[in-house]
A and B are shown apart, each in its own frame.
Chain A
C-alpha cells in the first residue's frame, strides 16, 4: 500500500513538472482515486451511503465472473487475450477523451470492456476486437458526452458495427466448446479438433433441429464467448437483482414476452417460431436481458417505462430472430429500443404528470 502510494506520488511529481506528461493527469488521478478512495466529507446530509460507482461497477463485473471463467473453460485461454485487447483499446479511447476534455476517467468503461468480448464469437480475430471496442466506446458513448449521457449501449454499438462491417467473420466463426477434463484452462484455442458448427438458432432455422436444454444451459452449444453458459448468466443476473443494482422489472418483462409470445406464433407458423422455452435459452437473450438491456443509462428510468421497454424488446427480438435474415435479434432490438428510451420515458412522464391534478 505504502509502495503504491510512494510510486504514485513520485510519478505525479514527475508528471507535474513535464509539459507533455501533464496532460495525462486524469490517468494518475483515476489511479489515485482507485487505490485510496476519497478524503472529501459530506455537507448535508451528514452521512451518505457507502455505495459508489466504483463498487457498483465492480459488482457487475463480479456478476459476470462465473460466465467469464466458464468461457475460458469452453473456448480456451485465448479468451483472456480477447478480454485484454478489449480493455486495452477501449481504455485507450476512454483515456484519450478524458485527456482531451480535461475531465476525470469514469468507471463505466470497466463493464463495457468486459461485456464486449463476451458477445463476440470465440474465433474472432484480435484486430476485429480492437476495432469493434474502439468504435463502440467512441460512437456509442464518448461522442454523446461520456458516461451518463450516452443513448446507446457502447458494447452493443461495437457489436452491431462489427456484424454489419465484417459479416463473414462475425457469423462463420462458431466452434464447438471444450467439454473434457480441464478443457480450455490448458489449451490456447480449440484448433486441433475444432468442429465448425452453427449456433442453436441457426440449426433450428435451417434444419429444424432443437438443441437439448441441458446442452443449452451448461454451455455445450455453439455461440458467442459469454452467452453459452446460461446457468452462470442467470446466477449473475439474479445476484444483481438481489443486490438491488438492477431493477427486476425490465428483465422480467423481456423474458416473459419472449416466453409467451412464441406460443401464440407457434400456432400460426411453427416452422418459423420455436417454442418459448427454446427461445429463452438460445442466443444472447439471457445475457442481453440481464446485463445489457438493464444498463441504467440507456434503459428507461420510470417503472412503467421499464415494463413497456421490456415487452417491446421481447417482441422485436422474436420478430428479428425468426422472420429476418439476421440471427442477432437481441442485439438489434436492444439497440433499437435504446433509441426509443427517451420517448418512452417522456410519454410515461406526460401521462403521470397531467396538468391540473393535485399530487
Chain B
C-alpha cells in the first residue's frame, strides 16, 4: 500500500550538487590483479581456504566459516593466488588474498540449485543460496539466514525496511538501479526475503522526488498486504538506520546498537537485487555497481566492477588531473578518504566521490555572491537559484571562531541533541552524567553539525572525544539503552565489531 510521504525533524537536504552520476552503466575492464579483503561488509574476518599457488575461478569460495557471524567470500576472477597477507585496509589490519588473473573471460560460475521458479525451492535452499552468494553480508547488519550471517535468526525479524532514499550529496541513481526489468527483479527479491522472514512486515521507502518509480511500485504491489511503500523526503541523513526506524516505524532506536537488536533488518536496493540474482540466477556477489561522482571526474557514470579491483583501475583514466583532488568513499560527510589508490574495492562500496582539494585562498571570499555555494542558510545566491549546480570543495570557507550559539547545529541535528551544548561541556572538561543525560551517546556521527557550523567548529569530533572520555570514566552507552529496550542478539553483536 502506498502511504503518505514522511520525513523527520532536523536534517538538511543537499540539493543539486555538481557531478551527480548519470544513469548510465559501464562495465569496467577485467582487473589484472585483484586484492580480496577477507572481511567485507558485516561479519567477522575469515581465514583463507586457499594458499599461495592455488588456482581459483571466478565465484569460487575462498573463505567461509559457518561458526562465526559471517558470510562466505569469493574469488572474483579466474586466476592463481599470488599471496595471502595482512594489509592496512581502512585503518584495520585485514587479511587479503591477492589473485593474478590468467583468464580474462567474464564468465562466473553459478551456484548450484538456483531456479528462476524460486517459489518451488525450499526455505533452506533459498537461505543457502543467499548465504553462499555472499549477499547476506551487505549493509549494516546483513541478511539473517540460518547460517549465522546476521545476529538474529530470520524468524525473529519483525520488520524489513528496504530503502532507496538517496539523501547524501551524491547518490547512486535510483532510475538506473530500478530500470525496466530490474524493477520486477527487485520486487521478486523483496518477495524472496519475505519468504525467508515470514514474520516480517516489509516497508519500502523510496525517494519522494522520484514520482514515476513510486507510482510503478505502488501499482505493482497494491495486492500485497504485507508491503507498504513510503515516499520519504531525501533529507540527509534519512538513509541512516537510526533515522529510518523512527520515521517509518515510529519507534525509538537503540543508539549505539544495531537495528537487528530490535528485530528490524534494513537493506538497500542493491542488496535486494543481489538476493534476486543469487536465488534466481545463482550469481555470487562479486560484482558491484559503483557511482563515480563529483566535479573532479571527467564523466560521471556508474561502473560495474569486480570486487577486489584496485581503485586505480577505476579512477586512473576517469579523474581530472589538472588540480589536486580528494577522493572519498561512499559519503562526503562521513566516508573514508581514499589516499592510497592501490587499495581494492569491496562489497561495501557504493559511491566514489572526487572533489577538488582547494587550498588556494580567495580574494574577499566572504563577500562573493556565491552562485554555486551550498549553505544551510539562504545567504548565498545559490539559495534563490536552486537550478544552478553547486560546486563542493574541501576548503573550510572561513576561520575557526568561538561558538556564538547560533543554533544551526541544533536545528540540523537529526537525533535531537544539542551539539554546541555538548561540545562546550566537553571542551571545558565537564564530563559527567549530565552530558550523558543530554544524549551524547545518541550521536549517530552523521557530521551534519560540523557541516552547518558557521564558526567552523568540528562538533562531531568533539562529541566523539567526549564519548570516549565518558566511557573511560565508566559511563557507557549501555546505561542509556539497555533499561529501555528488549534487545536481541547482544552476545552475537559483541562478537562482531561495529561497522
Contacts and interface: CB of A to CB of B under 8 A. Distances in A.
B362 interface: yes
A349 B373 CA distance: 35
A36 B361 contact: yes
Interface string A41-81: 11111111111111110110000000000000000000000
Interface residues of A, number: 49
Nearest to B401: A53
B455 A53 contact: yes
A301 B454 contact: no
B331 to A, nearest CB: 8
B395 A296 contact: no
Nearest to B438: A353
| Candidate in A50, A148, A296 with the most chain B CB atoms within 10 angstroms | A50
Interface stretch (B54-62, B76-84, B456-464): B456-464
Interface string B355-374: 10111111111110010011
B397 interface: yes
B397 A296 contact: no
A355 B437 contact: yes
B407 interface: yes
Contacts of B401: 52-53, 106-107, 147-148
B261 to A, nearest CB: 14
Contacts of B485: 358
A50 B418 contact: no
Contacts of A40: 395-396, 399
Contact of A52 (B358, B359, B397): B397
B405 A36 contact: no
Given A146-B402, A149-B402, A41 B396 contact: yes
Interface stretch (A122-130, A218-226, A241-249, A310-318): A241-249
Given A46-B328, A47-B392, A50-B370, A243 B379 contact: yes
Given A37-B362, A46-B394, A58-B367, A244 B405 contact: no
A35 B332 contact: no
A45 B168 CA distance: 12
A243 B378 contact: yes
Interface string B443-483: 00001001111111010110000000000000000001001
Interface stretch (B182-190, B270-278, B333-341): B333-341
Contact of B398 (A38, A47, A149, A359): A38
B191 interface: no
A52 B399 contact: yes
Contacts of B349: none
B442 interface: yes
Contacts of A35: 363-364
B358 A45 contact: no
Contact of B454 (A1, A52, A147, A358): A52
Given A50-B370, A50-B397, A297-B404, A45 B332 contact: yes
Given A45-B332, A104-B399, A148-B401, 14 more contacts: A39-B395, A42-B395, A43-B458, A45-B333, A48-B451, A52-B398, A54-B398, A58-B366, A147-B401, A147-B402, A148-B404, A244-B378, A358-B480, A358-B484
Q: Which 4 A-B pairs have the closest CB atoms?
A: A52-B398, A37-B365, A148-B402, A358-B484
